[in-house]
Amino acid sequence: MHLLAGEQDNACEMSSTSQVGITVLVVGIVWYALNRRPATSRYCTEADYQTRLSKVLSSLESRPPGSKLSLHRRTLESNTIRNASHKISPSYFPVDLSSFHHIIQIDITNQFVVCESGVPFGELLRELLKVGMTTLVVPELPGITVGGAIAGGGLESSSHRYGQVSDTVLEIECLTPGLRTCSLDDNTELFYAISASYNTCALMTKIKLKIAPAPKYVSLSTKLYTSFQGAVDDLQKEGGSDTIEGIAYSSDDILVIRGQHTNSAASPLRKFTRHWDKWYYKTIRTSPQITVPYYDYCFRYNYGSFWMANYVLDMLGGDNILTRFVIGAFLDTKHLFAVLHSGNLTDLGRMRIIQDCYVPTGRAAEFLQAEDEDVGVYPLWLCPIKGTSTKQVLASHYSLTEGSFINVGIYGRPRRFPFDASGMHLRLIDLLIDYGGRSMLYAQTWHTPKQFWEMYGDAIEHIDGVKGANGAEDCFFGLYEKVRLSQAEREEFGKPMLGTEGEETRKVVKDIMKRKFKNPIGSWTCR
């Protein structure tokens, strides 16, 4: 049989696609086998916490003057995806808080939980649900820790009512580098300064958070819009909904999804925590009314990391129960972030745009239109969030004039590919400056010094004052110094892609495999 040139190309493409599929499967299985860890207790006593804390405090006594305290964490566990050139600085001083991942107290009567900063929300919620409680804001990804959510500006679909995770905190114990306690009514300047400070203001060790009775289910209903303005108008109406979010599948196919807490399991009931379950963003697109168990709702974007891993299913022959059953277990955020951190983050940045942009609600439709023209990533996540005028000056929802924002989650491949990562990001930042918005700084932070100063100048001056008043003036990296891309990283991003998208993806997979075999358990570092 003779194949025409085009058919030969197709045949080659298909066989290399299945090779990539097999490679991904092997990497996943090896990774899983090497990273299983024994279960540890989720609780500790206050005395146990104090013992470990005093060891950390005494280790800080030998800290060289001028050294910068940085949270030391296994890279593979972090949900932060920016490069971290600050860690090669000679003044980098790692502080190991890896044992601070316990719950200390759950008080149902007074509705609070006290926990260490490294508790992941997935584990915290599981324990709270055993006593019928929940935190008010549960970030969408179960591996996000309580400390990471406060220092990184965690939010979710209840944020239209409660704001960010930081808005639900009652008290924080932290190191600056001495031990400090701050709360809603004690050392409030430090309390608010920590929000979205990315470990540049204090290192949190213990946190007291508000909790409330948890529902058993969330009942969801959707409404379709064909314009950004229509969807944004709806997203800003509270309407008694317990949860509100939107997903824009394209500029004229936008769902607004409202949730109501309930204790009765109305049908159809859908789950999202088993690896073979159809992913949420696909299910909800064709199901105008569903009921979801509360835990499944909170972490509905875990499998597939919103939609970012859909290309893996595509490579393996498409999304169906069989592919999800076989490979789905490796496509939760825990595994995806581990794989991501095993690779070169710059490669990811050349293949995908990942940014969370907070825009004042009144200008969100215009911003979305501009994003559509300049970037063109779909789907987009739209999450309304209540603004704050408390002195969380670094947080993206801080404003003395705007009552609410819409977080536009841009996670994916731009319409045009390959794309100019630098040009596209700098344009996004200019748009945010024009529209009075900010982006979350967990992602690659492209801001030039001028752009950063324009967005954060006043806030940084305030934070420096708070650090001075708390003995922390020289013991943390400055925010820009920590989060910005270095010149060398910018140049690496600028290197043109030579192959097709498929070829570049295969290169990335090969690189991840090589690194993984060299260093199967990842390194310790700080984001």
Ligand X SMILES: Cc1cc2nc3c(=O)[nH]c(=O)nc-3n(C[C@H](O)[C@H](O)[C@H](O)COP(=O)(O)OP(=O)(O)OC[C@H]3O[C@@H](n4cnc5c(N)ncnc54)[C@H](O)[C@@H]3O)c2cc1C
259 binds ligand X (CB under 6 A): no
Kindly state the helix (H) or strand (E) to which residue 325 belongs, with its residue range: helix 321-327
472 binds ligand X (CB under 6 A): no
Nearer to ligand X, 81 or 508 (CB): 81
**Which DSSP string corresponds to 407-443?**
EEEEEE--SSSS--HHHHHHHHHHHHHHHT-EE-TTS
Nearer to ligand X, 471 or 499 (CB): 471
Size of the site for ligand X (CB under 6 A): 32
Binding residue for ligand X, selected from 261, 484, 516, 527, defined by CB under 6 A = 527
In angstroms, the CA 464 to CA 474 distance is 10
Binding residue for ligand X, selected from 142, 154, 177, 414, defined by CB under 6 A = 154
Distance of closest approach, residue 206 Cβ to ligand X, in angstroms: 9
Backbone φ/ψ region at 100: left (φ over 0), alpha (ψ -120 to 50), beta: beta
Nearer to ligand X, 276 or 524 (CB): 524
347 binds ligand X (CB under 6 A): no
| Cβ-contact 40, 99 below 8 angstroms | no
Binding residue for ligand X, selected from 113, 119, 141, 193, defined by CB under 6 A = 141
> If you search the block for the tokens 């969408």, which residue do you land on?
140
The DSSP 8-state label assigned to residue 86 in this structure reads: G
Binding residue for ligand X, selected from 151, 408, 428, 431, defined by CB under 6 A = 151
In angstroms, the CA 302 to CA 142 distance is 7
Binding positions for ligand X, 349-388, rule CB under 6 A = 354
In angstroms, the CA 189 to CA 169 distance is 14
The DSSP bridge pattern shows strands 68-74 and 92-96 to be parallel
**Residue 217, both tokens:** 């289910």
Looking at the chain, the number of H-run helices and the number of E-run strands are: 19, 17
> If you search the block for the tokens 């704050």, which residue do you land on?
388
| Cβ-contact 205, 403 below 8 angstroms | no
Q: Which whole-number Å values give the CA distances from 34 to 68, 298, 335, 341, 488, in the listed order?
A: 32, 28, 12, 15, 33
Nearer to ligand X, 21 or 154 (CB): 154
Nearer to ligand X, 204 or 327 (CB): 204
Binding residue for ligand X, selected from 81, 329, 426, 497, defined by CB under 6 A = 81
The contact pattern for ligand X, residues 194-223, with x = CB under 6 A and - = no contact, is ----xx---xx-------------------
- Three-state DSSP at 120 gives strand
- CB atoms under 10 Å from CB of 108, counted, come to 13
**Which parts of 35-155 fold into alpha helices (H)?**
46-61, 121-130, 146-152
- CB atoms under 10 Å from CB of 298, counted, come to 30
175 binds ligand X (CB under 6 A): no
Nearer to ligand X, 199 or 219 (CB): 199
Whether the link from the prior residue into 418 is cis, omega within 30° of 0, is: yes
304 binds ligand X (CB under 6 A): no
Binding positions for ligand X, 109-138, rule CB under 6 A = 117
Which listed range, 48-56, 141-149, 362-370, 504-512, lies at the site for ligand X (CB under 6 A)? 141-149
Binding residue for ligand X, selected from 21, 122, 139, 349, defined by CB under 6 A = 139
Which listed range, 73-81, 212-220, 237-245, 256-264, lies at the site for ligand X (CB under 6 A)? 73-81
140 binds ligand X (CB under 6 A): yes
Kindly state the helix (H) or strand (E) to which residue 502 belongs, with its residue range: helix 501-518
Nearer to ligand X, 78 or 346 (CB): 78
Sheet holding 92-96, edge to edge: 92-96, 68-74, 524-525
Whether the link from the prior residue into 268 is cis, omega within 30° of 0, is: yes
Distance of closest approach, residue 14 Cβ to ligand X, in angstroms: 29
79 binds ligand X (CB under 6 A): yes
Nearer to ligand X, 289 or 300 (CB): 300
Nearer to ligand X, 196 or 365 (CB): 196
In angstroms, the CA 464 to CA 236 distance is 35
245 binds ligand X (CB under 6 A): no
Distance of closest approach, residue 355 Cβ to ligand X, in angstroms: 9
Binding residue for ligand X, selected from 305, 404, 445, 505, defined by CB under 6 A = 305
**Residue 156, both tokens:** 């979710």
Backbone φ/ψ region at 132: left (φ over 0), alpha (ψ -120 to 50), beta: left
Nearer to ligand X, 231 or 308 (CB): 308
504 forms bridges with which residues in the sheet? Answer: none
Which listed range, 39-47, 144-152, 342-350, 396-404, lies at the site for ligand X (CB under 6 A)? 144-152
Distance of closest approach, residue 496 Cβ to ligand X, in angstroms: 25
Nearer to ligand X, 165 or 231 (CB): 165
Binding residue for ligand X, selected from 225, 398, 442, 456, defined by CB under 6 A = 442
Distance of closest approach, residue 259 Cβ to ligand X, in angstroms: 15
Which listed range, 79-87, 209-217, 243-251, 345-353, lies at the site for ligand X (CB under 6 A)? 79-87
Nearer to ligand X, 17 or 42 (CB): 42
In angstroms, the CA 469 to CA 240 distance is 42
Binding-site ranges for ligand X (CB under 6 A): 71, 73, 78-81, 97, 117, 139-141, 144-145, 147-149, 151-152, 154-156, 198-199, 203-204, 305, 308, 354, 411, 442, 526-527
